[in-house]
């Protein structure tokens, strides 16, 4: 019998790419999602296939799965600043209660558990680039706090299940990632800039655009997660592309590659927006022998067509 994986948040952007990867590797894949931010469209190509099953379910409730499980990838959570602003309580609940339920299931099934954590645990970082050993600079009561603190709690809960119950756990800290199946209107910089560029609308840069991010192409991220799940590393591992760029330069880059006539306009910087973000990936290089293969230029070229089609069908 093939190995069996449960992917929570499996109909989301990252979750659905993981469903594809594990299915292609011959695994039996159970995709669970309550479709709050995920979409059945992301997994429609897998529907009806052997070794694939979709269950519409909210993981903050007791999870009941028939049969054995070898691995749980816990990816359920709203994950863009607009989402946590609109759904602050659900965000806190899925990170805390949802992680607890998923860990309880891992314990009952003797399955390995991998938590999708995030660079947001570093908050607005005072250390740059960010190593896994950095404890972060998070405002617990700010609007991003609902996501950041839920993920920090989820990491603590994961380590407690490892130490106290002996569950085999892994923690990935994901940095900004892009690729097909991202929602056009999730408010994030990359889909927003593509949408504005293809519609020749002004590109909205928040603040003066001097804040930085480091963008990872989705296939690289999936490879890093796949390797981490197989590895024996219990402590958190950063997976991200260290190529760093200011948001203003990024807006200019999108205008250039799309050949857009858009101008750049400046809007107010949201509260607690991290000023810098760049992963230190020496640990991933060392313990997973992983590093990104796709530079930003080629990743954006690969993703551009997807956004162009999305903008056309949106219009």
Catalytic residues: 147
Q: Which of 188, 195, 283, 296 binds ligand UDP (CB under 6 A)?
A: 188
296 binds ligand UDP, rule: CB under 6 A:
no
In the complex with ligand UDP, which residue's Cβ is closer, 98 or 240? 240
What SS3 state is found at 25? coil
205 binds ligand UDP, rule: CB under 6 A:
yes
In the complex with ligand UDP, which residue's Cβ is closer, 65 or 174? 174
- State which of positions 51-90 bind ligand UDP (CB under 6 A): 80-81
Q: Which of 180, 199, 204, 231 binds ligand UDP (CB under 6 A)?
A: 204
247 binds ligand UDP, rule: CB under 6 A:
yes
Give the residue among 79, 307, 48 at the shortest CA–CA distance from 191: 307
Helix 247-258 with 296-314: angle, nearest 10 deg: 70
- State which of positions 106-145 bind ligand UDP (CB under 6 A): none
183 binds ligand UDP, rule: CB under 6 A:
no
Show the CA angle centred on residue 49, arms to residues 48 and 55, nearest 5°.
60
Whole-angstrom CA distances from 209 to 137, 139, 276 are 21, 22, 11
Return the bridge partners of 53, or none. Answer: 30
176 binds ligand UDP, rule: CB under 6 A:
yes
Size of the site for ligand UDP (CB under 6 A): 15
In the complex with ligand UDP, which residue's Cβ is closer, 136 or 270? 270
211 binds ligand UDP, rule: CB under 6 A:
yes
Residue where the block lists tokens 């959570």: 77
DSSP letters of 32-62?
EE--SS--GGGGTTTTT-TTEEEEE--TTSP
Name the one range near ligand UDP by CB under 6 A: 37-45, 101-109, 182-190, 219-227.
Answer: 182-190
Instruction: Encode burial over 124-139: b for 16+ CB neighbours within 10 A, e otherwise.
Output: bbeeebbebebebebe
What SS3 state is found at 46? coil
Token pair, residue 294, equals 């796709």
Query: What does residue 289 show for φ and ψ, rounded to 5 degrees?
Result: 55, 40
Q: How far is the CB of 115 from ligand UDP (least distance, A)?
A: 18
Name the one range near ligand UDP by CB under 6 A: 11-19, 166-174, 206-214, 238-246.
Answer: 206-214
Give the residue among 219, 235, 227, 236 at the shortest CA–CA distance from 178: 219
Residues that bind ligand UDP (CB under 6 A): 80-81, 176, 188-190, 192, 204-206, 211, 213, 247, 270, 273
């Amino acid at each position: 019998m093939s190995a069996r994986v449960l992917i929570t948040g499996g109909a989301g952007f990252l979750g659905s790419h993981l469903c594809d990867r594990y299915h292609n590797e011959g695994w039996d894949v159970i995709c669970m999602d309550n479709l709050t931010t995920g979409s059945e469209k992301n997994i429609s190509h897998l529907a009806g296939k052997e070794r694939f099953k979709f269950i519409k379910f909210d993981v903050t409730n007791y999870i009941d799965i028939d049969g054995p499980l070898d691995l749980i990838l816990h990816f359920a959570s709203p994950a863009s600043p607009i989402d946590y602003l609109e759904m602050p309580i659900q965000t806190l609940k899925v990170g805390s209660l949802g992680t607890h339920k998923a860990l309880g299931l891992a314990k009952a099934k003797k399955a390995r558990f991998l938590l999708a954590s995030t660079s947001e645990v570093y908050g607005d970082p005072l250390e740059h680039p960010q190593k896994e050993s950095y404890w972060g600079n998070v405002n617990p009561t700010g609007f991003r706090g609902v996501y950041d603190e839920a993920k920090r709690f989820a990491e603590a809960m994961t380590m407690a299940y490892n130490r106290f119950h002996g569950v085999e756990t892994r923690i990935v800290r994901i940095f900004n990632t892009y690729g097909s199946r991202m929602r056009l209107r999730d408010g994030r910089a990359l889909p927003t800039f593509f949408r504005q560029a293809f519609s020749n609308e002004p590109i909205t840069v928040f603040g003066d655009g001097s804040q930085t991010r480091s963008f990872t192409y989705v296939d690289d991220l999936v490879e890093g997660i796949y390797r981490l799940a197989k590895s024996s590393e219990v402590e958190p591992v950063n997976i991200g592309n260290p190529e760093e760029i200011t948001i203003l330069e990024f807006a200019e880059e999108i205008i250039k590659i799309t050949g857009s006539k858009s101008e750049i306009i400046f809007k107010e910087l949201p509260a607690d927006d991290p000023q810098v973000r760049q992963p230190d990936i020496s640990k991933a290089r060392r313990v997973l022998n992983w590093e990104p293969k796709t530079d930003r230029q080629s990743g954006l070229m690969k993703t551009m067509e997807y956004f162009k089609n999305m903008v056309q069908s949106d219009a």
